[in-house]
Structure 1
Amino acid sequence: MLTKRALPLLTLLTASAALAQDAKPVLDTGDTAWMIVAAALVLFMTPGLAFFYGGLTNSRSVLNTMMMSFVSIGLVFVLWMVGGYSIAFTENNPFFGNLSAFGFNGLAGELSGTIPAYVFAAFQAMFAIIALALISGAVIERMRFGAFILFGALWSLLLYSPLAHMVWGPGGFLLTLGALDFAGGTVIHIAAGISALVAALVLGPRLGAGRVAHAPHNVPFVLIGAAILWFGWIGFNAGSALGANQTAALAFITTCAATAAAMLTWLFWESARGGKPTAVGAATGLVVGLVAITPACGFVSPWASLVVGALGATASFWVVQAKSALKADDALDVFACHGVAGIVGALLTGAFAWTTGSGKPFWEQMGIQALAILIAVVLTGAGTFILLKLVGLVIPLRVTASQEVSGIDIASHAEQGYTDGETGLSTPVMIGD
């Protein structure tokens, strides 16, 4: 029973709650500072991806491989400002936003929650950038640079932005359905992984694929790139809390836990198969862990994140081993590492969201997650096939056979990754050549 002294306090609290509901969002400088840092961290991930992919390719195509990541930054940010953001985050229908925010129109002085709308738009731009850059790993050493740019522009506007609207946008179909994707497992990793697989099939294999070994030419680059990705991914996942709060703290710890578990799991499987624990394996395992935990990081407990990382790494490892069965020369295993780990992570989000009280009963949530995955696979798979066929009508998708044999850095950029510094002649690189 309430005492007479408690009644005034209850009245005050009730009135304060009513006022809070009617109050407009207020800028929080702490949240804003964190989100600017998080956006910068996510931006840094794409150069990290360039090093990761660049080290895995051959020395004659390292510049072209890295340039596909770097050009994604400029290309997608401009497109995101022009129309991508508006398609993704304005209200229109469950599948597509409107163009009212064309050129970031109307964002000046506005808030998205407790942060400036400009900061939210920039943070989301960094997601769109790396989503396209990820696809490039499947088509390296053979796709024309101009064809990649044209395809990337169409993919970003016509596939990525509508999918982002469905998952995160106001009134989005999958958001309304109750699909959980905290930081982009469906929007980024499943979308990029499926698109990469389709692109590899459409372009066809590299010359000598299956007969000639395609070994990494610079393993230290791979490790540097993986380290940058892990560092930047803290902004990717914890930043998706959109504030400096307890949810960001949860996403931070689950991201690190899952990544550590995945790296150890990958090294275990390498050793269990009679091989040696490799540096490339450690780098790949940690990236796979980052992918798997991305949709779940703000929804599952720390102990559950260990399971997500281990299972994501296990699934991706064995898909890599069965790569030849896919009949696609996915050069850097984008489908296995991002598509498969993204699918596993999305399903496990449904399975473990109950550990923090974030979801419905797990069987119901897993059904919703499975439907979201299916929609993402069909949309990006069919869409990528159509876009590549259209691009091929304008620009040949592949370089010539002679350019592919000699390496496409010179043909595409008139530069080489390694020279003697005086004559400009290529310096021999023994590993992987």
Structure 2
Amino acid sequence: MKSLQQMALLMLVGTASASASAQELNQADTAWVLTATALVLFMTIPGLSLFYGGLVRVKNVLSILMQCFALTCLMSLLWFAVGYTIAFGSDGVEQGAFIGDFGNVFFAAITMDSLNGGIPATLFAIFQMTFAIITPALIVGGFAERMRFSAMLLFSAIWLIVVYAPVCHWVWGGGWLGSMGLQDFAGGTVVHITAAVAALVAAMMMGPRRGFGKVAMPPHNLTLTVAGAGMLWVGWFGFNAGSAVAADNSAAMAMLVTHLSASAGALAWMAMEWIRHGKPSVLGIVTGMVAGLGTITPASGSVGPAAAVVIGLTAGVVCYFATNWIKNKLKIDDSLDVFPVHGVGGILGTLLAGVFCSTQLGVFSGNGFSDGIDSIGGQLMVQATGVVATFTYTAVATWVILKVVDLMVGLRVDADEETQGLDLVLHDERGYDL
């Protein structure tokens, strides 16, 4: 009897120790996610700011930089106030299928000692904040050079709360898509599809820039764009590998496949231009890189290196044709090609994650299907459901938000203001004084 009591006591102590260790701070994981958080913020300011800034005309460069900078500030405060709790709720509370509970308004349930797995809850909150910052900033490319600054701020604020935070909950916060088994490691649906669909809807609702299709609108400074592209590439390691929320094998593989897909996407786009136009362009190779990065994002925790190369090559070719089709055939002025690069890439990557996660593809095998799914067809069905649901909800909600904002402050600058350029009209400054 005494020996049984001793065994029971040892089991209780062991269970308590295991529970305690599960809540212990992991310093390696914490150090990596701290680094990843800085990298993802670096993607927006200055990475995306410079990438977009170089692509617009000289009279609008400051407006792009201002929009990205202001969004960084505004989205940070909104995420703190209400965005985080809608997306992730609070610990110890059963989460709903569509939005989180409101126990973390103003980070009310987060203290300095709170943990989220092996990292501080404060760190998880700010890591996710950087995703909430860059997603609305991506949308800027769809309506660049023609939206009022006040309208941009109001639209982005409402959009974060109504679109981004709920979709984030669906996938990562315990919502219905995550429960179905959707594989979206770092934001194919949450970031790229939502931002790209919103950009497309905005471009269609606002109409093209004055002179679109009649007057050449080349990038004014590709040097800025290439510098920004390099920052995006480096920052994307924090975006994808950081989404492992640990310094482990998963993070290392995510970093590797991210790099390979970016390289393949860049070369594929370059090759398409070289074949079709006789010369490779700098703009083409950096756009292909972004396509490769955006497409691998949802699959970066699911696939291996060989599949990543296939995904990157596919992204470079498919997004290249999508860009030409939307601009030249459909005549939609998605100013900086947000939808054909991020949207098409996000859709493609989310679907291909459902294929290459299979462990039965030899050298192209991945990490396996989600729990309860035992075939490529079954996983693809879940992936397609995630794509369709995210696309549809984002499109409808974005249209409604834009209508409301248009009634409140007006979406677009007038014709004379657009001709002068947003730098002078909205900010009374010039990007260059040479």
Structure 2 length-normalised TM: 0.92
What is the CA deviation profile of residues 268-324 of structure 1, one whole-angstrom value per residue up to 9, with x for unaligned ones? Answer: 100111331111111101011110000001110111000111111111100111123
Match of 1:148 in 2: 152
Q: What percentage of residue pairs aligned between the two structures are identical? A: 44
Bigger CA drift: 321-330 or 77-86?
Answer: 321-330
Q: 1:414 Cα shift?
A: 1.1
Q: 1:14 Cα shift?
A: 9.0
How many Å separate the matches in 1 of 2:340 and 2:137?
16
How many Å separate the matches in 2 of 1:325 and 1:198?
17
User: Which of 29, 33, 36 lines up with 2:34 in the alignment?
Assistant: 36
How many Å separate the matches in 2 of 1:197 and 1:389?
15
Does 2:150 correspond to 1:136? no
Determine if contact 1:88/1:97 at 8 Å carries over to the other structure: yes
Does 2:167 correspond to 1:163? yes
Match of 1:402 in 2: 416
Match of 1:97 in 2: 100
How many Å separate the matches in 1 of 2:63 and 2:143?
11
Amino acid at match of 1:53: Y
How many Å separate the matches in 2 of 1:339 and 1:50?
19
Point out where structure 2 has 5 or more consecutive residues left out of the alignment. Answer: 1-7, 359-364
What is the CA deviation profile of residues 183-236 of structure 1, one whole-angstrom value per residue up to 9, with x for unaligned ones? Answer: 001000011111100000111110011101110000101100000000100000
User: Which of 179, 182, 185 lines up with 2:182 in the alignment?
Assistant: 179
Match of 1:426 in 2: none
How many Å separate the matches in 1 of 2:151 and 2:81?
21
How many Å separate the matches in 2 of 1:275 and 1:245?
44
How many Å separate the matches in 1 of 2:12 and 2:105?
40
Determine if contact 1:347/1:370 at 8 Å carries over to the other structure: yes
Partner of 1:356, secondary structure, is coil
Q: C-alpha root-mean-square deviation of aligned residues, in Å?
A: 1.7
Amino acid at match of 1:55: G
Match of 2:335 in 1: 331
Determine if contact 1:204/1:329 at 8 Å carries over to the other structure: yes
Mapping for residues 339-358 of structure 1, pairs under 5 Å: 339-354=343-358, 355-358=365-368
Q: 1:346 Cα shift?
A: 0.4
Match of 1:431 in 2: none
Partner of 1:143, secondary structure, is coil
Partner of 2:411, secondary structure, is coil
Match of 2:49 in 1: 50
Determine if contact 2:351/2:383 at 8 Å carries over to the other structure: yes
How many Å separate the matches in 2 of 1:307 and 1:215?
31
Determine if contact 2:267/2:316 at 8 Å carries over to the other structure: no
Match of 1:257 in 2: 260
| Count of residue correspondences | 409
Structure 1 length-normalised TM: 0.92
Does 2:231 correspond to 1:221? no
Determine if contact 1:201/1:327 at 8 Å carries over to the other structure: no
Match of 1:244 in 2: 247
Bigger CA drift: 383-392 or 92-101?
Answer: 92-101
Q: 1:106 Cα shift?
A: 1.3
How many Å separate the matches in 1 of 2:148 and 2:277?
39
Mapping for residues 236-315 of structure 1, pairs under 5 Å: 236-315=239-318
Q: 1:37 Cα shift?
A: 0.7
